Structure 1
Amino acid sequence: MPPTMVFPLPGASVDLAQSDHQQVRIVNMNRRLSGDYQCEVSADAPLFHTDIRSAPLTVVDPPFRAPRLLVSRLSYARNDLLQANCSVDEAYPAPNITWTIDGHKIAETISWQSPEQDFKERGAFSQLEVSIVESLQYRGGQAGYAGHTGDGEHFAHRTESEPDKRGILRYTLSVPVSGQFALGCVATIYDVYARGSEQAHIREDSPRPASVTGEDSSGNIFSDECA
């Protein structure tokens, strides 16, 4: 007696109402309580056999704001190169950044993690260059972009799966049938946090009509416009 004893630990509290002989509920945790957690079971006298199991636990401290996406421009001409930046506020551990087109994953930046548990908050940043080409081979029946990334068949192939020396990811996209697409980025920490940026809706430049002049068979000068 008592059947349950709680030992004080700075930064955490045990919720006895939600704890029993099979589980312990800990509340008000902070990231410095990340580490290996152990459960020990001991037999009675005289042998006191003991067995211990452990598992790692990371306390996530997420960023306050959604990722911020900046795109060089919101319109394109064929064979253009678009540049985009995605930045995420400091968090623990540092978030990973996933790039999407129309909600489908196309590239990912994995944030560096310190080999030692220093509990420091770190931000995340990723750069992407999208090459928009005239056409790639379309798959039959697919009303989208050509090729596939492994997650779907609606996208052009990615030319480089790893960042270049400047840390920039590259992706090649054939012109969508609709002429427009939505670019976005998502910050994730393990499977407990995911938040996306506002999507940038990018449209193809409208063709500008060109004026054509000439003479008809009777010698009259005419003017016409063609796209």
Structure 2
Amino acid sequence: RFLRSVPFSPQILFFSTRPVIAALRDVQVSVPPAVRRGDTATLHCYYDMDGESLYSVKWYKGRREFYRYTPKESPPMKIFPAQGVQVKRSASNESQLTLLGLSLASSGKYSCEVSADAPSFHTMIVTGDLEVCEVPKHVPSIHGMRSRYRVGDIVRGNCTSHNSRPPANLTWYINEAQANPSYIRTHKPFRERKNEFETSLAGIHFVVGNHHFVNGKLKIRCTARIHDIYLQSTERSIDEDRPRVISAASSANSNGKGANGNAVPYDHFPPYAENELDRKDYMTLQGELEHIAY
């Protein structure tokens, strides 16, 4: 056998010494999700130019540009009109934007657009949602409950939080623990006739058991919450209404009968009394709705 010779051919390898092209990256926006009406909000736009020069930062509400920062121009800051937007110049720059006197019209989507300078003019845009809230002027109110209950009685009550936007989320608690969902009667929030605000209503309905009373007390609380900017509660402390034992001697003195007389051992309500209490002194769910709506 003969070995076939392969002619040697030298290879030339080329190595690029050109640096990797820098590029804008990691653009992020920080927008507070909820703010009280009339308050100030600060929005942030974070970005990494990665060696490039900044050309401009623009802010939009929806599709409308209302703020532009161009460092190579003089002045670098420009502000354009937009509904519900009032910019605080002294607290705004290429990475921060401060809005004053927020109104309900200020709610919406806010976008930050960052552009690199020549030659790439690379552009990225990110968006965040801001909601301006009208919080209730008063704490939630509890209606329809008596001050005393016995084991076996039915507790019925309503919790109302008036005039907010969005409507408050209502939560019932019994002795510091969130109430069993089966006890709760939920109702759709309704809009007030005199304004654009809404009212929340939630009912509670359960049979009183021995375990509900702690040292003769039953505590029921209703909490109203709107995002993380509003939290108020109202609590009722209810006494246990235990039957009172009447001694035979007292009974004999009061009705003229002896120890073997026909004495009543417990001080009971008349059979009609509880219905009278509910009918005269306490609002039913329907009555509460009528009271609020009208």
Q: TM-score range by the shorter chain?
A: 0.5 to 0.7
2:105 is the alignment partner of 1:32: yes
Structure 2 length normalisation: TM-score? 0.53
Partner amino acid, structure 2, of 1:133: G
Equivalent in the alignment of 1:83: 156
Q: Which has the higher contact order (CA 8 A, sep 6+)?
A: 1
- Of 3-12 and 23-32, the range deviating more from structure 2: 3-12
2:164 is the alignment partner of 1:102: no
Please report how far the alpha carbon of residue 85 of structure 1 lies from its aligned counterpart in structure 2 after TM superposition: 0.5
Q: Which runs of 4+ in 1 moved over 6 A?
A: 108-111, 223-227
Q: CA 1:109 to 1:82, structure 2 compared with 1: closer, same or farther past 3 Å? A: closer
Structure 1 length normalisation: TM-score? 0.68
Structure 1: stretches of 5+ with no match in the other structure: 135-173, 214-220
Cα RMSD of the aligned pairs, angstroms, is 3.0
Structure 2: stretches of 5+ with no match in the other structure: 1-73, 250-257, 267-294
2:243 is the alignment partner of 1:207: yes
- From 84, 109, 121, give the equivalent of 2:197: 121
Equivalent in the alignment of 1:163: none
Contact 1:94 1:111 in 2 (8 A): no
Provide the identity percentage: 29
Q: Write 1 or 2 for the structure with the bigger share of helix.
A: 2
Q: Which whole-Å CA distance do the structure 2 matches of 1:111 and 1:23 have between them?
A: 42
- From 47, 50, 75, give the equivalent of 1:2: 75
Q: Which whole-Å CA distance do the structure 2 matches of 1:84 and 1:208 have between them?
A: 26
Equivalent in the alignment of 1:194: 231
Please report how far the alpha carbon of residue 15 of structure 1 lies from its aligned counterpart in structure 2 after TM superposition: 1.4
Q: CA 1:105 to 1:184, structure 2 compared with 1: closer, same or farther past 3 Å? A: same
For residues 51-79 of structure 1, the C-alpha deviation after alignment (integer angstroms, 9 at most, x for no partner) is 00011111111112111111321111111
Q: Superposition pairs for residues 44-63 of structure 1, below 5 Å?
A: 44-63=117-136
Question: Which of 1 and 2 has greater Rg?
Answer: 2
Contact 2:186 2:203 in 1 (8 A): no
Q: Which whole-Å CA distance do the structure 2 matches of 1:210 and 1:129 have between them?
A: 32
Equivalent in the alignment of 2:222: 185
The alignment covers a number of residue pairs equal to 177
For residues 74-102 of structure 1, the C-alpha deviation after alignment (integer angstroms, 9 at most, x for no partner) is 11111111111011112111111011223
